[in-house]
């Protein structure tokens, strides 16, 4: 029975990614069962995704799951035995590189993918933090090679739409005619079109439906709202219905981040020192400040003012350090001020590194920076007077004066 259950193996990405990739996989599994197959999904677990998978199947884990150029080949070795034992082998995923085990199994297989890596990255890259964009640029050549290896090794390649077919064909170095289109199935009984008279009558007060996740920057929800505002100017009675997961409130976002952080800490104890250092840097605006400014702007604060405030705060830090050293040299007791700085940093390390949590320490930074700026101004004034005296002496010497 077990051997029969694995007659069709479906290599995919971690189902905990959810979204459109999971919908595509579920549609494929349902279709396979309806034609008499018993498909089993198989994937490599992808940290830092946590929690239970929404699907049952074969999941393998490697020590380098976060580093795709290394983790994917290691996972392919662990999935090789399952791929070789399968009667039918498919790759069903958002992008083809998740099916590397199929390409290296020596078995014939087919692919059904949603898009290409380059198309996926072009949508994701603007919302990524700087260090992830750097990592993506370094990993891209290897991952593209995996993608092309999977696509070129498949006996048949399918995309989900004519648009994605063009992207997939380009990634594979194939002609578009060699890539089929297999749309994600729609239940036409549930989503049946209206009769023509009823549809025409509703045009005066239309309802536009948009399917997507508000918290996914690739879905361009802000662009949708801007565009719909223009629609309302022409069709005042038009309505918009957003179908999908809404964006989280600040409290919900904080709770989700906290729960995820607890799971991550439990599963990655060796990385806690790195996490602590990132939190400490973030509270002082020294870690990926542009992304933090964008996140704060989402919480109803203008991004431009956030960036300006960050630049102001960071510019004060060198003067605050210099002022602290100067006051210490003069014998001033800095313990009360340093206690505030230490407390803010410790709170960030133990909770959540956010630049706004550093507000209690801003008065201390301002006082120390004022001392540093005053010392710098006094030093400049002394140097200017010294330069003036030196210039006066040189002039007198040139004129033969005393």
pLDDT value, residue 26: 93
Q: Radius of gyration of the chain from Cα atoms?
A: 30
Q: Are residues 71 and 177 in the same domain?
A: yes
pTM for the predicted model, two decimal places: 0.59
More confident residue, 273 or 163: 163
User: Which parts of 128-169 are beta strand (E)?
Assistant: 156-159
Q: Are residues 321 and 269 in the same domain?
A: yes
Categorize the per-residue pLDDT at 282 as very low, low, confident or very high, splitting at 50, 70 and 90.
confident
Predicted confidence (pLDDT) per residue in 26-70, tens digit:
999 999 999 999 899 999 999 888 788 999 999 999 988 888 999
Averaged over 237-241, what is the pLDDT? 88
Give the H/E segment covering residue 93: strand 88-93
Q: Are residues 177 and 207 in the same domain?
A: no
| Res. 7: pLDDT tops 60 | yes
User: DSSP labels for 49-95?
Assistant: --S--SS-EEEE--TTTT-HHHHHHHHHHHHHHHHHH-SEEEEEESS
Averaged over 386-395, what is the pLDDT? 71
* 106, part of any domain: yes
Sign of CA dihedral 115, 116, 118, 120: positive
User: DSSP labels for 361-384?
Assistant: GHHHHHHHHHHHHHHHHHHHHHHH
* 395, part of any domain: no
| Res. 249: pLDDT tops 70 | no
Q: Are residues 99 and 205 in the same domain?
A: no
* 384, part of any domain: no
Predicted confidence (pLDDT) per residue in 75-133, tens digit:
999 999 999 989 899 999 999 999 999 999 999 999 999 999 999 888 777 767 777 78
pLDDT value, residue 210: 85
Structural domains of the chain, count: 3
- Token pair belonging to 155: 């006996």
Q: Are residues 64 and 91 in the same domain?
A: yes
The residue segments making up the domain with residue 105 are 2-181
* 398, part of any domain: no
Q: Are residues 314 and 271 in the same domain?
A: yes
Categorize the per-residue pLDDT at 227 as very low, low, confident or very high, splitting at 50, 70 and 90.
confident
Q: Are residues 238 and 307 in the same domain?
A: no
Q: Are residues 149 and 12 in the same domain?
A: yes
pLDDT value, residue 1: 39
- Decide: 24 and 94 in contact? Cβ < 8 Å: yes
Q: Are residues 134 and 229 in the same domain?
A: no
* 116, part of any domain: yes
pLDDT value, residue 124: 78
Give CA–CA dist 354/284, Å, rounded.
8
Averaged over 285-300, what is the pLDDT? 60
More confident residue, 282 or 104: 104
Instruction: List, in sequence order, the alpha helices (H) in 174-220.
Output: 196-201
| Res. 169: pLDDT tops 90 | yes
Helix pair angle (117-124, 162-172), 10° resolution: 110
Task: Please count the residues of the chain.
Answer: 402
What mean pLDDT is reported for the chain?
82
Categorize the per-residue pLDDT at 296 as very low, low, confident or very high, splitting at 50, 70 and 90.
low
Predicted confidence (pLDDT) per residue in 79-91, tens digit:
999 999 898 999 9
């Amino acid at each position: 029975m077990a051997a029969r259950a694995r007659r069709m193996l479906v290599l995919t990405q971690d189902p905990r990614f959810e979204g459109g990739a999971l919908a595509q996989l579920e549609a494929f599994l349902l279709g396979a069962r309806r034609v008499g197959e018993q498909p089993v999904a198989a994937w490599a677990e992808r940290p830092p995704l946590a929690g239970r998978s929404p699907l049952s199947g074969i999941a393998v884990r490697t020590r380098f799951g976060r580093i795709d150029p290394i983790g994917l080949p290691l996972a392919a070795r662990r999935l090789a035995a399952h791929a070789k034992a399968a009667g039918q082998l498919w790759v069903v995923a958002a992008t083809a590189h998740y099916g590397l085990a199929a390409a290296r199994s020596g078995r014939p297989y087919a692919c059904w993918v949603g898009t290409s890596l380059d198309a996926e990255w072009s949508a994701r890259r603007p919302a990524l933090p700087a260090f992830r964009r750097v990592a993506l640029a370094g990993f891209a050549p290897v991952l593209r090679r995996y993608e092309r290896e999977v696509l070129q090794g498949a006996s048949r390649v399918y995309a989900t739409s004519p648009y994605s077919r063009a992207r997939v064909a380009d990634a594979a170095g194939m002609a578009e005619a060699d890539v089929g289109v297999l749309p994600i199935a729609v239940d036409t009984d549930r989503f049946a079109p209206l009769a023509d008279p009823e549809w025409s009558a509703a045009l005066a007060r239309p309802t536009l439906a948009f399917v997507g996740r508000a918290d996914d920057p690739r879905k361009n929800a802000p662009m949708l709202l801007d565009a719909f505002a223009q629609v309302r100017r022409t069709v005042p009675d038009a309505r918009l219905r957003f179908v999908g997961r809404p964006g989280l409130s600040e409290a919900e976002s904080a709770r989700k981040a906290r729960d995820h952080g607890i799971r991550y800490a439990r599963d990655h104890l060796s990385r806690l020192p790195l996490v602590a250092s990132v939190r400490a840097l973030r509270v002082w605006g020294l870690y990926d400040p542009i992304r933090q400014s964008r996140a704060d702007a989402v919480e109803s604060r203008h991004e431009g003012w956030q960036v300006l405030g960050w630049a102001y705060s960071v510019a004060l830090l060198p003067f605050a350090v210099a002022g602290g050293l100067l006051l210490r040299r003069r014998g001033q007791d800095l313990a009360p001020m340093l206690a505030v700085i230490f407390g803010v940093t410790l709170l960030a390390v133990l909770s959540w590194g956010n630049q706004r949590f550093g507000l209690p320490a801003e008065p201390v930074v301002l006082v120390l920076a004022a001392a540093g700026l005053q010392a710098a101004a006094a030093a400049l004034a002394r140097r200017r007077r010294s330069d003036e005296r030196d210039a006066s002496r040189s002039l007198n010497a040139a004129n033969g004066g005393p």
